[in-house]
């Protein structure tokens, strides 16, 4: 039976139905694909939104209006119409004398005699001890910007005595003044110094050991059982929760080696720190914590050094160590340093292990050595956050901004190092 071309091209109704069903199915498949693409894309937005909200939330608390009530109004302190801003030092001392107890005056005298104090110093004492401004209410940045009228209304109704000032909780004096129970004078200097001390000790302890272990595992170790166990072990240690390191530090450095970490063994006796809860203990604990990270990062950096470099070095008669010291390490150094900086920025933010090791809840003096009590910036933020009064949340926000700036600069240095030295290989 012959088929005419016309018949061959024509499509039976059943076929046509099937084809259009196929087409519908195809467009449905594409549609589902598009929908999911939108879902995938929008889930990436979650990360961006989360980060933005986090930062905005902190900035929102770190600035804003504060209602301040003075214990004594500065106008009442004026002598013969001279306000305290323009008073000479002697008059300020007199003002101080008439408002604080004799015992406190003697304490000031013992710290620094009045003759040696500057006018500025005495003026600050008057402000702090006599005028003694206290925050009675505070508003977030958002409220301060958009609901000023409501704030002023509330001021008139509830705090008629108070002054309304716009306060930034992050100021130069916030960074340079020590911890204080008065939110206005409190600062993070003690905490920053504590952070720097503990981090330095952690690096001194774990950098040589970490790099040494990486060199051994990458350059010397044969593929045998012991070395495999060591590698597996390091990977597992990197996954241990940081609080476990805190517990280990508490048992090992604070309790077992208390004589060493409190400095008693070196003849350093300070009754306040005799129990081993010192900067040294904290630093060593952080050192244990970042050791696996440094080892893993350094291993990666050493692995990336091309083998031709080693073979060339062996070829001209260098020993294994000479090869490592003169060729492998210099090439791997940028990578090792970058990894170390990342480990340090992890350590700077660590809070839990230091709380467990025994960070002090309240110290106002600067740490003066590895055997003194300590607090660090994240611990300080934690303690401020945990306090019930709202005003300390603002301080915590200020502390967080300082902490994030510290971390940001560390990471910027890491990126710079990577870009600067990675070209040479």
Partner 1 sequence: MNLKKRRRVGESIIHGFLILSSVISIFITVGIIFELGTESMLFFTRKQWERTNKEVVQNVELASTSFFVSESGATLRAGDLIRLRDEEMRVVEIQGGLLVVERGAEGTEPIFHSEGTAIEKATQVTLLEFFGKTEWNPQIGRFGIWALVNSTLMTSLIALVVALPIGLCVAIFLSEYASQRFRSILKPILEVLAGVPTVVYGYFALTFMTPLLQAILGKNVVGIYNTASAGIVIGILIIPLVSSMSEDALSAVPNALREAAYGLGATKFETALQVVVPAAFSGIAAAFIVATSRAIGETMIVAIAAGAGPNFTFNPFEAAETMTGHIVRISGGDLSYNSLDYNSIFAIGLLLFFMTLILNIISQKIVKKFREVYQ
Q: Is 21 in the site for partner 1 (CB under 8 A)?
A: no
CB closer to partner 1, 196 vs 230: 230
CA–CA gap between residue 162 and residue 169 (Å, rounded): 19
CA–CA gap between residue 105 and residue 99 (Å, rounded): 10
As given in the structure block, the two tokens for residue 398 are 């200020």
Q: Is 37 exposed, middle or buried (0-12, 13-18, 19+ CB in 10 A)?
A: exposed
Binding segment for partner 1 (CB under 8 A), chosen from 93-101, 160-168, 175-183, 376-384, is 376-384
Element (H, E) at 173: helix 172-176
x/- site string to partner 1, residues 318 to 357, per CB under 8 A?
-xxx-----------------------xx-xxxxx--xx-
Tracing tokens 């009228």 back to the chain, one arrives at 149
Q: Is 66 in the site for partner 1 (CB under 8 A)?
A: no
Closest CA to 368 of 274, 265, 270: 270
Binding segment for partner 1 (CB under 8 A), chosen from 103-111, 143-151, 187-195, 374-382, is 374-382
Residue 221, number of CB atoms within 10 A of its CB = 15
As given in the structure block, the two tokens for residue 348 are 């700077």
Binding segment for partner 1 (CB under 8 A), chosen from 96-104, 110-118, 125-133, 314-322, is 314-322
As given in the structure block, the two tokens for residue 419 are 């870009």
Closest CA to 253 of 148, 364, 371, 360: 371
Q: Which of 89, 255, 327, 418 binds partner 1 (CB under 8 A)?
A: 255
CB closer to partner 1, 77 vs 141: 141
CA–CA gap between residue 184 and residue 392 (Å, rounded): 10
Binding to partner 1, residues 190-209 (CB under 8 A): 208-209
CB closer to partner 1, 361 vs 389: 361
Coil, strand or helix: which one is 70? Answer: strand
Partnered with residue 69 across adjacent β-strands are 134
x/- site string to partner 1, residues 141 to 170, per CB under 8 A?
------------------------------
Asked whether 358 and 375 are in contact (CB, 8 A), the reply is: no
Binding to partner 1, residues 31-50 (CB under 8 A): 32-33, 36-37, 39-41, 43-44, 46-48, 50
Q: Is 260 in the site for partner 1 (CB under 8 A)?
A: no
Asked whether 127 and 71 are in contact (CB, 8 A), the reply is: no
Q: Is 411 in the site for partner 1 (CB under 8 A)?
A: yes
Q: Which of 257, 333, 407, 417 binds partner 1 (CB under 8 A)?
A: 407
CB of 423 to partner 1, least distance (A): 19
- H-helix segments, 219-328: 225-238, 242-249, 258-261, 279-303, 307-315, 320-323
Binding segment for partner 1 (CB under 8 A), chosen from 73-81, 104-112, 167-175, 235-243, is 235-243
CB of 256 to partner 1, least distance (A): 8
CB closer to partner 1, 91 vs 206: 206
Binding to partner 1, residues 67-96 (CB under 8 A): none
CA–CA gap between residue 39 and residue 300 (Å, rounded): 35
How many residues are recorded in the chain? 425
CB of 237 to partner 1, least distance (A): 6
DSSP state of 79: B
Q: Is 373 in the site for partner 1 (CB under 8 A)?
A: no
Binding segment for partner 1 (CB under 8 A), chosen from 126-134, 182-190, 310-318, 396-404, is 396-404
DSSP state of 18: H
Q: Is 242 in the site for partner 1 (CB under 8 A)?
A: yes
CB closer to partner 1, 67 vs 217: 217
Coil, strand or helix: which one is 61? Answer: helix
Q: Is 292 in the site for partner 1 (CB under 8 A)?
A: yes
């Amino acid at each position: 039976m012959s088929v005419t071309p016309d018949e061959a091209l024509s499509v039976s109704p059943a076929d046509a139905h099937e084809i259009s069903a196929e087409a519908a199915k195809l467009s449905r498949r594409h549609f589902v694909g598009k929908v999911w693409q939108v879902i995938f894309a929008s889930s990436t937005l979650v990360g961006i939104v989360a980060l933005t909200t986090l930062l905005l939330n902190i900035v929102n608390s770190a600035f804003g209006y504060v209602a301040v009530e003075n214990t004594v109004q500065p106008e009442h302190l004026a002598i013969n119409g001279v306000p305290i801003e323009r008073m000479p030092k002697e008059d300020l001392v007199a003002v101080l004398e008439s408002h604080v107890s004799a015992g406190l005056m003697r304490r000031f005298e013992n710290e620094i005699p009045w003759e040696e104090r500057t006018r500025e110093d005495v003026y600050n004492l008057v402000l702090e001890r006599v005028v003694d401004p206290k925050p009675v209410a505070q508003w977030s940045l958002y409220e301060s910007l958009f609901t000023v009228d409501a704030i002023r209304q509330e001021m008139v109704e509830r705090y008629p005595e108070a002054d309304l000032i716009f306060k930034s909780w992050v100021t130069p004096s916030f960074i340079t003044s020590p911890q204080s129970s008065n939110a206005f004078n409190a600062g993070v200097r003690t905490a920053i110094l504590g952070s720097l001390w503990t981090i330095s000790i952690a690096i001194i302890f774990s950098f040589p050991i970490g790099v040494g272990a990486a060199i051994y595992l990458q350059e010397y170790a044969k593929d045998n059982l012991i070395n495999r166990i060591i590698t597996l072990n390091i990977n597992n240690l990197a996954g241990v929760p940081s609080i476990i390191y805190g517990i280990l530090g508490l048992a090992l450095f604070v309790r077992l080696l208390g004589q060493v970490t409190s400095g008693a063994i070196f003849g350093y006796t300070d009754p306040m720190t005799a129990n081993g809860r010192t900067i040294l203990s904290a630093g060593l604990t952080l050192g244990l914590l970042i050791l696996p990270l440094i080892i893993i990062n350094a291993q990666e950096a050493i692995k990336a050094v091309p083998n031709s470099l080693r073979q060339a070095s062996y070829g001209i008669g260098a020993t294994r160590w000479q090869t490592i010291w003169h060729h492998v390490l210099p090439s791997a150094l940028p990578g090792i340093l970058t990894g170390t900086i990342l480990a340090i920025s992890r350590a700077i933010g660590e809070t839990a292990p230091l709380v467990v090791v025994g960070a002090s809840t309240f110290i106002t003096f600067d740490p003066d050595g590895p055997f003194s009590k300590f607090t660090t910036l994240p611990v300080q933020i934690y303690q401020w956050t945990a306090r019930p009064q709202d005003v300390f949340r603002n301080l915590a926000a200020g502390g967080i901004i300082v902490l994030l700036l510290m971390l940001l600069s560390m990471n910027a240095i890491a990126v710079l190092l990577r870009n600067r030295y990675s070209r040479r290989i």
